[in-house]
Amino acid sequence: MSRNEILEQLKEILITADERGAALLDLVTEDARLQEDLGLSSVNLLYLIIAVEETFGIRFDDVGVNAFPTVGDVVTYIEGKLS
Amino acid sequence: MRWEPAACRAGDMVRIRLGSVYHYGVFAGEDEVIQFGLPPTAENRAKEGEVKVLATDIDTFACGCIVETAQLDRAEQKRRLPPDETVRRARSRIGEAGYNILHNNCEHFVNECVFGESRCTQEEDVRRRWLSRPICDVYLMTIPEGCSDADIYPEKRRQEIMKIKDAAARNAAVCLWQLLEVAAGHSFHTALRGAGLKRRLGGRWVCDSFSFALTFCHGVAAVAVSNAPVDLQLGGSGKTRRLRQPPVAIDVSGAHVAAVKFFWAENGAVTLMGNRFFE
């Protein structure tokens, strides 16, 4: 799965994770910071991680509190897990 | 289990609310609350290196929030470990690392100390929310010529399709069923073979795993899949939304229409179109 495909799947998840829905999509770039730029709450972050586990069939077994500052960091983690 | 801002005794589960999440600890005394990592405030996050099991006083644990104590019901009282054993277990783990936000966090830690069972209700609630989220996805594709019926499942449906006399309609039906297979895999992570497909009296095909509707118009095949009843029309009237490419109008109706996502399928790839393609 390419980096861009992973990003597209993440966008799908973010639509359901956040009540702003599709309006959030314009903000989602690899450089966007999950909390500061996208404004995701702690629960939304938990939702994002769980949704990624379910969607990609991976397990976040080595994740710290500050593991994913940006969307690109999440993509890189998934890419690493899938490869 | 209820949570109340009540007096704490040694071996109690305690928690504070920080924004939309909770931080948990085992109360051993006013000077000793044992927890997996400091409360995740911005300040603590900035200064905390590797997250470890540690003990702090109750004020550091509370960080200005109200401390709630778990009020166990009768069954939970029976199930829990003796309070002194809870405190012993918690103390024995001070210095332990291996924190994981999903699978080994502060709530897992207190549940292991109090019940001998590692679990996190916050994670379970959020996972349940994800698995029960509204799904209503619409898949579209241009109908190619000469679709192969070789992979159509079930065989009964394949035979029905092969009886369609009009070649264009037969080709569209094959294309639709193939698109349904794509939709089942993409939206519900299942193959039609495992989705419990059956034919109702009256001729309509349904399946146990999700609801679906199929239609085609102007050379475009469309499939809607949802975890609530769904219907679909192309080239309809009324509350339709018109795609720029291809030029067809789409009516989707069902309980989860507010969450509709549109996908375009081409050469085996599925692309999310969102609703940005609508005029």
- Sorted by where each begins, the domain ranges of chain A are 3-82
Interchain proximity A62–B40, CB inside 8 Å = no
Cross-strand bridge partners of residue B214 = B223
A65 pLDDT exceeds 60?
no
pLDDT of residue B279: 33
Interchain proximity A46–B45, CB inside 8 Å = no
For chain B, say whether A56 makes contact (Cβ under 8 Å): no
Interchain proximity B103–A60, CB inside 8 Å = yes
Indicate the SS3 state at residue A55: helix
pLDDT of residue B200: 87
The domain made up of A3-82 has a fold known as: 1.10.1200
Substitution target from B36, B45, B104, B126 for chain A, most A beta carbons within 10 A: B126
Interchain proximity B102–A42, CB inside 8 Å = no
For chain B, say whether A60 makes contact (Cβ under 8 Å): yes
Characterize B247-260 residue by residue with b for buried, 16 or more Cβ atoms within 10 angstroms of its Cβ, and e for exposed. ebbbbbbbebbebb
Instruction: Tell me how close the Cα of A76 comes to any Cα of chain B, in angstroms.
Output: 18
E strand or H helix at B28, and its extent? Answer: strand B21-29
Q: Which of A22, A43, A46 sits opposite B274 (nearest CB)?
A: A22
- Residues B100 and A60: beta-carbon distance below 8 Å: yes
pLDDT of residue B239: 46
Indicate the SS3 state at residue B186: helix
Instruction: Tell me how close the Cα of B158 comes to any Cα of chain A, in angstroms.
Output: 30
Low-confidence residues of chain B, pLDDT below 50?
237-242, 244-245, 276-279
Interchain proximity A43–B272, CB inside 8 Å = no
Q: What global pTM score does this model have?
A: 0.70
For chain B, say whether A50 makes contact (Cβ under 8 Å): yes
Tokens representing B144 are 């190619």
pLDDT of residue B277: 38
The domain made up of B136-272 has a fold known as: Ribosomal Protein L22; Chain A (3.90.470)
For chain B, say whether A36 makes contact (Cβ under 8 Å): no
Instruction: Tell me how close the Cα of A43 comes to any Cα of chain B, in angstroms.
Output: 6
Minimum CA–CA partner of A22 in chain B? B274
pLDDT of residue B198: 92
Tokens representing B22 are 């909770």
The alpha carbons of chain B give a radius of gyration, in whole angstroms, of 28
Taking contacts as CB-CB distances below 8 angstroms, the residues of chain B near A56 are none
Domain spanning B2-130 has what CATH number? 3.90.1720.10
A64 pLDDT exceeds 90?
no
Enumerate the domain spans of chain B.
Answer: 2-130, 136-272
Q: Which band of pLDDT confidence, cut at 50, 70 and 90, is reported for residue A35? A: confident
Residue B58, C-beta contacts closer than 8 angstroms, at least 6 positions apart: B8, B27, B30, B31, B33, B67
| ipTM surpasses 0.90 | no
For strands B249-254 and B241-242, give the pairing.
Answer: antiparallel
Q: Which of A8, A43, A61 sits opposite B103 (nearest CB)?
A: A61
Interchain proximity A50–B101, CB inside 8 Å = no
**CB burial of residue A80 (10 Å; 0-12, 13-18, 19+):** exposed
Tokens representing B64 are 């200005």
- Residues A9 and A54: beta-carbon distance below 8 Å: no
Interchain proximity A65–B99, CB inside 8 Å = yes
Q: Which of A8, A42, A63 sits opposite B100 (nearest CB)?
A: A63
